[in-house]
Chains A and B, each alone.
Chain A
Amino acid sequence: MAEFVTVLVDGIFYSAWLFVAAVGLTLIYGVMKIVNLTHGSFYALGAYAGASFTGAWIAHGYPPMLSYAVLLAAAIIITLVFAPLIERGILRFMYAKEEVVILLITYSLFLILEDVIKLIWGVDPYFVSEPYGLLGSFDVGEMTYPTYNLILVGIAIVSGSGLTLLLQGTRIGKLLRTVIHDPEVSRAMGINVDRFYLVTFTFGSMLAAIGGAFTAPTVSVVPGLGVEIIVLSFAVVVIGGLGSLPGAALGAVIVGLVRSATIHYVPALELFVIYFVMAMVLAFRPRGLFSLAEPRKI
């Protein structure tokens, strides 16, 4: 029983981290129909900005408890610098092109941003471990967990429920759903689709950057950080259904719990299990668990 609880807790923490990292990817695809590989770059940019801003904050002797706000601010600032530039400067000229062309463009941008990161921060690792230990730890059975992990769970809940409320319960959400359904008709009805694209891309990228910033205290922030996360994020959103918010949540929970159970009971299968789940889902539901029937446009 104790081990089962540990599996559950580990799975929840991993799911929360995955969801925060992946939700922006599904949001951008849902609205803009872009498979956005720069998502990994924004995760890495968030991690670098979080580590360097918070490192400087703590080095200057400012209150450590505010370092969480600094992590958040760093992610927001770095996204506001890069995301509008990319969307307005490059992507908006590409929307008329096929999805695969945009995929290649975002891949090119991903590679460019990897080098931009090295130009700005170099190749030395950045550590900002203080926020990780600041809140102490708590015990679940015989296991000790850093309280910091609960912050990631909180961010996952707030971002998931906040996005759902925004989409389902506000006027902006209704307009956004209209854009998702048919951008051309939305444009004809006077909706500023370009602005929605800009805001969606920026907000989706910001979620990735927040994921990166709040991961920074738990890892060594080094070049290449964005590569792994993009692969995992795709597994999560493909399982749930590209563009589906509840799908991303379910995909993250499935991956998190299955991975955790595998590590505890059959560690040799850890590498294989995430992609096995993805393959099984795609075999029976090729568009993911939460895909909806799409109206055919004539």
Chain B
Amino acid sequence: MHSLKKLSTAVAAALALAPVTVLAQDAAPVKIGVVAFLSGAAASPFGVPARNAAELVIELMNAGKAPAPYNTKGFGGSKIETVIIDESGGTTTQVTEFRNLVQRHNVDMVIGYISSGSCVGIAPVAEELKKLTNFFDCGTPRIFEDASYKYVFRTSPHSTMDNVGAAMYLKDVKPNMKAIAGINQNYAWGQDSWGDFEASMKHLFPKIAVKTSQMPKLFAGQYNAEISTVMGAKADVVHSSFWDGDLEALVLQAAPRGLFKKSTGVLTAGETIMAKLAKQIPDGTILGARGPFGPYAPDNAYSRWLKKEFQERYQVLPTYPSYQMAQAIMGVKLAWEKAQAANGGKRPSNEQVAAALEHSTFEGPGGTVKMALGKGHQAIMETAYGMSKVVGGKVTVTKVKRYPAEVVNPPEGVKAADWIAGGFKH
């Protein structure tokens, strides 16, 4: 009798769960538009590692092989499908591609964009089309400072953190420096990066002299004259937020001229060239990874998982664009599943997923991600910097210092420039 009661309870429970299970198995796939540079100078150091991370993470999630709480299959039981788009071609092309993703491919959401120019162009279009869009890499803080959005998110920190962190690191390791110079790309990312760095340095070192600020165009390729000018400035530190092939070209051309031996280089996106240009990066160069990624990643279950799976699949370690892409997918997955649970197990709408992602906090391969700025749409994280040291022909980082998220990011509602000018007050 007792067994019969147990059996009937089990059958009742199974019947109760049946609708959800059937729904999950038969659910339409979740279609994600993934956008990253797949051609051009930014493809190899950024777009391809990010695309690889997206493919890997989504495949493992579909198989239910990600660490908890990401170990449910797909998004809430629905298989994830991707439509991968090349970010090359400029903002106008990207806006057209975005509309295609939404209106022709009917994607459920878009995760992508490396260039700040792309993000600035896409954000209002995403809002117009009411399509959940998560910027995984672009850095300009202007996106959520100049407007507020319902459907647009960025699960990676913005560039203010990189440059405030770099200035704080310099205060810790080179407290007696007197002069700085900069070489940054002439568009939103480069200008914002230099602006934040210069202002932070002026606050932390009130007597600092700014010798020169070079702003060559994006993808210029030849930097001999800029290098001469910066060398002639004889600054203690040369700051650069160069990325992609431009960073590689700058370091290649600077190496035989000894630029980063005469002045300490601060390369805020330098982590992406550590493996490729070991011979050209002198010891003592300050390298950033745009957050706690790559060599600065915390030793948690997610970073161990990403490193192991990525290296097995691609025979290289993931660089920071891979980390950022992985955590962008993880953040959206949690939000989707939270929204689905709140929706009684039914497929959530874009509005419900956006509401779940807003102000959320989750753990990823770079540690804790808090959607704390931009009315809950912009992430903050801790950051870390270190100095290069070649060991056995490979670049490693030493003298690593970590800075908590709240120390290197402005408080909610305060523009980065105002926060820096006001002395980093919270």
Contacts and interface: CB of A to CB of B under 8 A. Distances in A.
> Do the two chains belong together in a single complex?
yes
A127 B43 CA distance: 15
Contact residues of A: prevailing secondary structure:
helix
A198 to B, nearest CB: 31
Nearest to A264: B229
B256 A267 contact: no
B217 A270 contact: yes
B228 A268 contact: no
Interface in B375-416: none
A138 to B, nearest CB: 11
B34 interface: no
Contacts of B245: 125, 219-220, 222
Interface stretch (B25-33, B135-143, B272-280, B324-332): B272-280
Interface string B250-265: 0011011110000000
B198 interface: no
Contacts of A220: 41, 44, 245, 248-249, 252
B349 interface: no
B423 interface: no
B222 A145 contact: no
Contacts of A264: 225, 228-229, 232
Interface in A203-223: 215, 217-220, 222-223
Q: Which 10 A-B pairs have the closest CB atoms?
A: A220-B248, A224-B40, A10-B225, A146-B256, A219-B249, A263-B225, A220-B245, A123-B43, A222-B245, A260-B225
Interface in B198-228: 212-217, 219-222, 224-226, 228
A268 B184 CA distance: 12
A66 interface: no
Contacts of B232: 2-3, 6, 142-143, 264
Contacts of B220: 228
Interface string B43-66: 111011000000000000000000
B39 interface: yes
Given A222-B40, A270-B214, 9 more contacts: A123-B43, A123-B48, A124-B48, A132-B256, A144-B257, A144-B258, A223-B39, A224-B41, A225-B221
B327 to A, nearest CB: 24
A259 B228 CA distance: 13
18 contacts: A118-B39, A123-B38, A125-B245, A127-B277, A129-B255, A129-B277, A142-B231, A149-B224, A219-B222, A222-B44, A222-B245, A224-B39, A225-B221, A227-B219, A228-B220, A267-B214, A271-B186, A271-B215
Query: Which has the most chain A C-beta neighbours within 10 Å: B40, B214, B225?
Result: B225
Contact of A222 (B43, B224, B256, B258): B43
B241 interface: no
Contacts of B163: none
B88 interface: yes
A255 B41 CA distance: 24
Q: How large is the interface on A (under 10, 10 to 19, 20 to 34, 35 or more residues)?
A: 35 or more
A256 to B, nearest CB: 9
A19 interface: no
A166 to B, nearest CB: 28
A260 B224 CA distance: 9
A218 B186 contact: no
Given A142-B232, A264-B228, A270 B44 contact: no
A170 interface: no
B42 to A, nearest CB: 8
Contacts of A148: 256
Contact of B257 (A145, A215, A263): A145
Contacts of B48: 123-124
A50 to B, nearest CB: 14
Contact of A218 (B44, B253, B258): B253
A14 interface: yes
A127 B278 CA distance: 12
A263 to B, nearest CB: 4
B216 A270 contact: yes
A13 interface: yes
Contacts of B244: 222
A123 B276 contact: no
Contacts of B40: 222-224
Contact of A129 (B41, B186, B279): B279
A200 B47 CA distance: 39
B249 A218 contact: yes
A17 interface: yes
A137 interface: yes
Contact of B222 (A2, A218, A268): A218
Interface string A133-174: 100010000111110110000000000000000000000000
Contacts of B248: 125, 127, 219-220
A10 B232 CA distance: 12
B256 A133 contact: yes
Given A10-B224, A118-B39, A263-B214, A219 B252 contact: yes
A267 B38 contact: no
Given A143-B228, A224-B88, A267-B214, A17 B222 contact: yes
Contacts of A215: 221
Contacts of B43: 123, 222-223
Interface string A111-130: 00010001000011101010
Contacts of A13: 224
Nearest to A220: B248
A288 B180 CA distance: 42
A3 B233 CA distance: 10
Contacts of A227: 219
A56 to B, nearest CB: 18
A125 B43 CA distance: 9
Contacts of A11: 225
Query: Which has the most chain A C-beta neighbours within 10 Å: B219, B245, B280?
Result: B245
Nearest to A274: B217
